[in-house]
Every structure is written in structure tokens, then in C-alpha cells.
Structure 1
Amino acid sequence: MSPNPNDPTFLRTVRRRGPAAVLAAAVVGATATSAAWSATPAAARTPAAIRTCAVSDLYLSMGTKEGAAGSLYWPVRFTNTSTTSCALRGYPGVSVLDGGHHRIGAAATRSGRSYTSVTLAPAHSASAVLRTTNGPVGGPCLRTGSYLRVYPPASRTAALVPAPWKTCSDTFQVGPVNTQGAL
């Protein structure tokens, strides 16, 4: 607080310590007050922890299939449909289902790639890439499924995504959710 020249304590201090001491105290007090005021806006700007995206916050869809070097890659896109930002971190759980919603083959294994949190602003997307072989290379193909059952990272609730997926050669991998399109 700045000294108040009308305060009787201030006047006694000036008489006892002298004007230079009072000026120094006023500068220190003003600096402390300024520091407190400047810290407040910075603290107010510190973002609160971003909540994890729930299935109800997301629209899941399939991106564009691509083939390369004997593999087939297909991204699962997670789009934030809520009005606030939310985050996804890690790998989704993915399995293939037939038209009757029965699982075909084993669930996807993780690619092993490292990951970070992806913050999705409203209407923004990130994806997790699926991979299998491009045909029976080293093993047979399973029958083609009608849906993918996808559990977003940290979710115990799945979404069904219409997707004609065929796992071949016992290869079915998923990458972490990211914005680079990496497996």
C-alpha cells in the first residue's frame, strides 16, 4: 500500500526516520504491490486443466485409406463437437465387428509409438491410424467387417463407426491419437 500523508502514523514515521527512509519504504511497498498486481493477471491466465474428451463430445469418422509397401493405412478421425476444448491422450481401443455387431478377430494392438496429449478445440480433429497388410501377405485375411468399435483413449464407452475393414495376415495395429497422421 502507498503511504498516506494524512495518516498520523505516517507523520510520526517521517519525523522519527526522516523523509529518505519513508521514500524508500514507499518504493518497496509500491514494488511489492506492483508485483502482487502483476502476478494476479498471470495467475488468472494460467489455463485450468483441460478435461478429457468423452464419447458424447466426439464425432468419429474414417479418413482416406492409403496403401504403401504392402500395408493398408486408414485413419479414425476424432472431431470435437462440444462447445469447449477437450483432450485425448494415448491409444484408442479398436476392434472389427460384423453386421450383427459380433467381433471378427482380435482387437488392434498398439503400434508402440510415443504420444502426448492432443487438445481439441471445438470443431477440430485429430486421428489414430489403423494398419493391416494389403492382402494375404504371410497369412490369410479375415472376413470383411461392417463396423469398427472404437473406444477413445481413457474411455470405457465405445462408438460404432461404419467401416468395411478386413484384417489380413494377423496384422491389425492402431497408433496413438495425434495430429500428424502417424501410426
Structure 2
Amino acid sequence: MFLNTRLLSRRGLTTGLTVAAAALATAGVAWSTTATAATSAPAKTSRTSAALRTCAVNDLYLSMGRQEGAAGSLYWPIQFTNTSTSACALRGYPGVSVLDTAHRQIGPAATRSGSSYATVTLAPGHSASAVVRTTNGPIGGPCLRTGTYLRVYPPASHTATLVPARWTTCSHTFQVGPVNTDGSI
């Protein structure tokens, strides 16, 4: 487990994208920097999906998006940005739990929302997200202590990243959705 402190500089990201474009051009593949942020596609045949590797923790920069509230709930996307020089894929749910400043877990880990999901292909420099949800206050039960970090295991990973995030779980509700490109939980 490591604290996510890597910063994406515009220069570093541009350099990585330039290297990736050159590598693809050498391989005879046309590539544009205006490509979509990520693609969500149904699972491919085993022959095609075997060629695309799963994103490793070292390939990803994790950060928090913008919190939003709606209908008594609080939603906060965890963003997964591919910082490597090649495309990789994420499929399924991340593991998420709340930690205090001493890195002790507060309450149970997030449960899965039960939403359907597809494989998300991340080109270098592009992002996808998984949304965490709790109630917006003690609606059906008490709130736990406020945490300092979210411990996040990307899908198919046994290595976690600590993402700085002040999070309070309320009413015994802490859910996470699958990694996707549409912001759903």
C-alpha cells in the first residue's frame, strides 16, 4: 500500500503521450490526441482481451473528483488515470475503505452497488471513475468518525493506494460502483 503522491504535470503527460503516439506510429497504428477519454465496451473475445493488459497500480494515478449530493445521498467519484505509455484495461469494482490519520480502518469496507459493468479501456493520459456513495447525514442511522484517506484497491489488484479524502459514512450506507466512463454507481 502506498500514498498516492505522484503529480501529473502537463509536460510529463505530454511527453508520455508523445512517446505512446510514436510507439503506435512505429507499429503502423494511427493515433490522435483527440481520442475519447476512455472507452467502455462489452467484453471482447478471449483472443482480443488477452492482448490488452490489466492496469496495474503503478500505471494509475488515483484522485477524487467533485462531490455531489442528490436525494439524501452524497456521491464522490474516484478517478483512475492511466499514467503509463500504453493502453490498459479495468473491469469491475475497486475495493474501498475509509482510514483515519493513523491508517486504521473506520467501519466496514464499501459494498458493491450491484450495477452491471463492462471492460473500460484506458489510453495513456485518460481516465475513468468509480463512484462511492453514502447518505447525506444520519438519515437511517448514525454517522461514523470522519476519515482522512480512502484505501483503494483497483479492480483485479492486491495492492492498495491511499487517496487523501475526508469521508464520513452515515446510516450504515457505504457503496461503490464499478469503474466506468459515465459516472454511474
Query: TM range, normalised to the smaller chain?
Result: 0.7 to 0.9
Counterpart of 2:169 (choices 152, 155, 167) is 167
* Match of residue 106, structure 2, among 100, 104, 127: 104
Shift of 1:49: 1.6
**Which of 127, 141, 146 is matched with 2:143 structurally?**
141
Q: Give the gaps of 5 or more residues in structure 2.
A: 1-47
1:47 to partner: Cα distance: 8.4
Q: CA deviation at 1:48?
A: 6.3
**Aligned mates of 2:146, 2:51 — CA distance in 1:** 41
TM-score w.r.t. the length of structure 1 is 0.74
Q: Aligned pair in 2 of structure 1 residues 170, 83: CA closer, same or farther (>3 Å)?
A: same
For 2:99 and 2:50, locate their aligned partners in 1 and report how far apart those are by CA, in whole Å. Answer: 38
Structure 1 unaligned regions, length at least 5: 1-45
Distance 1:128 1:47 in 2: 21
State the match for 1:60 in structure 2. 62
1:135 positional shift: 0.2
* 1:181 and 2:180 aligned: no
The two structures, once aligned, show a CA RMSD in angstroms of 1.1
Matched residue, 2:119:
117
Aligned-partner SS, 1:146 = strand
Indicate the residue corresponding to 1:51 in structure 2. 53
Task: Identify the structure with bigger relative contact order (alpha carbons < 8 Å, sequence gap 6+).
Answer: 2
**TM-score (normalizing by structure 2):** 0.73
Moved over 6 A (4+): none
Q: Percent identity?
A: 79
Bigger fraction of residues in strand: 2
**Secondary structure of the corresponding residue to residue 56 of structure 1:** helix
Higher helix share: 1
